[in-house]
Structure 1
Amino acid sequence: MNRVGRVVCIRLAARIGLVVGIFFGIILLVEFLDTGRFNQTAALAGPWTSTGLAFLSALRWSLLGLPVTVLIGAIVGLIDLHSHREMVIISASGRSIWSTMRWPILMIILSGVIVTTVVDSFAIRVYQQLDAAQIGWGRAYGVQNRETWFNQTGADGDYMLYARSVTQGGTQLRDVSILRLQPQGGTGTRIHARMAELEPGQWRITDGMVLDIDRAPQPFAEMTLATTATGSELSLQLGTAEDMSWFDLRQALRNGIADPFARAAAETRFQKLNAVPFVLVGALLIAFAFTGGYRRTGHYGWTIVYGIVLGLVVFVITEMADRAGSAGVLDPIAAAWGPALVAIVIGLTVILRREDGRV
């Protein structure tokens, strides 16, 4: 990396980090101001767990808004470079804006990969270790502890599984009822049990009773029912794709997901994580497009407003496409990569227009 690239990268990284930190602090303050949930969590799991979950929730919301904060931070960094006439010196030395952007773009791509594979995965893993699902934290954990139906199939036949309480991402069910599709003369058409836990290839059902029309109820301490479902698939059926890491999603997609809605949600989330570095590159290009040029008066008010508005538009488009892809309305690849391409095209178009004028 040459000296110019190092100066620009350090200045942009410092300003982007500052904006992300401020955004994180604001969200963390909001989390702590929700005293009702904080006190309830402290009563259930202790004050340290409640504090840790508040930090993790703020971190994950900060990652969700990363394209906008990167855009604002890049704009602040470029204005800072202009205010010290460093961008003027870089231009006067004969360097084009393309050579100036090369190292910052590589920095943003590397940062996006780290955020996707390390930071987000770490936050999700800690969430799971703290058992946040049972406490009620997280964007997608609201579906926990509700009455839920699961359509199951396996070597023991097809059956519907109904649970009045769902925890551990769908792998632990309480107060369970099972309706089996049995051939004529078969037994065990209805099963009621206290708990069902998912094990590899089967449900382990404990403390229950088998009910048939033509015989007395048959209590049992433990029994098993074969299933092809996996923990990842059940979690996705609950709508918790947002709370699965990049590695978990990749493994679930490799193993195959039978439910079409769960598969659409998983693939959209997976492709969205893959596209994060390029969405951030689009945000950086928009920042360069609207603040990279020289201003004799030094006024960037409306230029900054235009850049931020475009960044918010890209963010809204990203979230709308994500919802459409997760619902199966839009192809997951198009839903995830479309906003990234839109952001990059907008940034490149404005830069080309400013640098080369109309063609």
Structure 2
Amino acid sequence: MSKIGRLLCVRLASRIGLVVGILFGILLLVEFLDTWRFGLTADVAGPWVATWLAVLSAVRWSLLALPVTTTIGAIVGLIDLHSHREMVIISATGRSIWSTLKWPLAMVILSGVVVVTIADSVAIRIYQQLDAAEIGWGRAYSLGDRAVWYNQSGDDGRYVIYARTALGGGAELREVSIFRLLDSGARGARIHAESATLQDEAWLLRSGTILDVDQPARPFDSYLIATDATLSELGLQVGTAEDMSWFDLRELLQHGVTDPFAKAAAETRFQKLNALPALLSGSLLIAFAFTSGYRRAGHYGWTIIAGIGLGLLVFMITEMADRAGSAGVLSPIIAAWAPALTAIIIGLSVILRKEDGRV
């Protein structure tokens, strides 16, 4: 890496890091100011767990807002370079904007890969160890009823499981009721049990009763009912796709997901993580497009507003596409990659227009 490339990377990385740090501090303050949720979590899991969940919540929201903070931080860094006439000197050496962009772009792409594979995965792993989804700290960040419904199928046919409480990522259920899904007019059994535990391709029910319409109730100590579900798929239904790392999602999708809504959410989240380096690249290109040009008077007000506004617009489009993809309305690949490609095209178009004029 050349000295110019090192200067640009250090300056931009420091300013982007500063913006991310400020946003993290604001989010952390908001989490601690919500004393009702913090107190309720402390009552359920203890004060230290509540503190960790608040910190991790701020971390994950900061990661979610990376496209915007990258744009703002890069704009701040480029203005700083202009204010010290460093960008003028770089241009005077005969370097084109593309040569100047090379190393910062590589830095942003590498940072995106690190965020997806390490930072986000570590935060989610800690979330899982703290049983965040079971306490109620998923993407929605709300405490509520922990009852769950599972649509299941296996060698014993199709059925629905209702449980008052789900533990262990959805593999341990309490106060369970099972309803078989039969053809119209068919008669089947209903099962109630104190607990159900997921084993190899089966649910193990304990201390329950089998109820048939034409037979007396039959109590049992243990009972097996076959299922095709996996622990990862159950965890996805208990929490959200946002509570799963890139590695968990890849493994889950390789084994297959039977629930179409859970599958759409998992595929959209997986493709969104894959597209993050490209989305951050588009954010950096937008910052360069609206800030890298020389200003004799040094006035960047409207340019900064336009760049930040465009960055926020890309973020909003990304989140709307994420909702559409998770709901199965839009293809997960389109929902994840279209905003990233749009940001890249906008940034490249503006840079080409400023550098080469009309074609």
**TM value normalised by structure 2:** 0.95
Matching residue of 1:303:
303
Distance 2:141 2:171 in 1: 14
1:94 aligns with 94
Structure 2: where are the runs of 5+ without partners? none
CA separation of 1:83/1:181 partners in 2, compared to 1, >3 Å: closer, same or farther? closer
Of all paired residues, the percent bearing the same amino acid is: 68
- Contact 1:159/1:181 (<8 A) preserved: yes
Deviation at 1:278, TM superposition (A): 0.6
Q: How does 1:81-230 map to 2 (within 5 A)?
A: 81-140=81-140, 142=142, 145-180=145-180, 189-230=189-230
Contact 1:172–1:198 (8 Å) recurs in 2: yes
Equivalent residue number for residue 328 of structure 2? 328
- For 1:294, the equivalent position in structure 2 comes to 294
- What is the CA–CA distance in structure 2 between the aligned matches of 1:294 and 1:146, rounded to whole Å? 57
Q: CA deviation at 1:300?
A: 0.5
**Counterpart residue number, 2:10:** 10
Secondary structure, in 3 states, of the residue corresponding to 2:149? Answer: strand
- 1:258 is matched with 258
1:267-306 CA-partner distances (Å, limit 9, x unpaired): 1100000000010000000000010010000010000000
1:48 aligns with 2:48: yes
Distance in 2, matches of 1:144 and 1:230, equals 25
**Residue 33, structure 1, aligned to residue 43, structure 2:** no
Kindly tell me: are residues 144 and 35 of structure 1, through their superposed partners in 2, closer, same or farther at Cα, counting changes over 3 Å? closer
Q: Where in structure 1 are there 5+ consecutive unaligned residues?
A: none
1:103, 1:220 → 2: CA distance? 67
Give the RMSD, CA atoms, in angstroms: 1.9
Aligned to 2:80: 80
* d(CA) in 1 for partners of 2:50, 2:208: 35
1:112–1:280: 8 Å Cα contact kept in structure 2? yes
Structure 2 counterpart of 1:231: 231
Structure 1 length as normaliser, TM-score? Answer: 0.95
Structure 1 residues 242, 256: closer, same or farther in 2, change over 3 A?
A: same
C-alpha distance in 2 between matches for 1:140 and 1:171: 22
Aligned partner of 2:109: which letter? I
Assess if the C-alpha contact under 8 Å between 1:133 and 1:168 holds in 2. no
- 1:354 aligned partner: 354
Question: Residue 170 of structure 1 aligns to which amino acid in structure 2?
Answer: G
Output one character per residue of 1:26-71: Cα deviation in whole Å (capped at 9) or x when no partner: 0000000011111222222222211111110000000111100010
CA gap 1:170/1:143 in 2 versus in 1, 3 angstroms: farther
Deviation at 1:157, TM superposition (A): 2.1
Q: Size of the alignment, in residue pairs?
A: 357
Aligned to 1:318: 318
Residue range with higher mean Cα deviation, 146-155 or 119-128: 146-155
- Residues in 2 aligned to 1:288 and 1:43: alpha-carbon distance in whole angstroms: 49
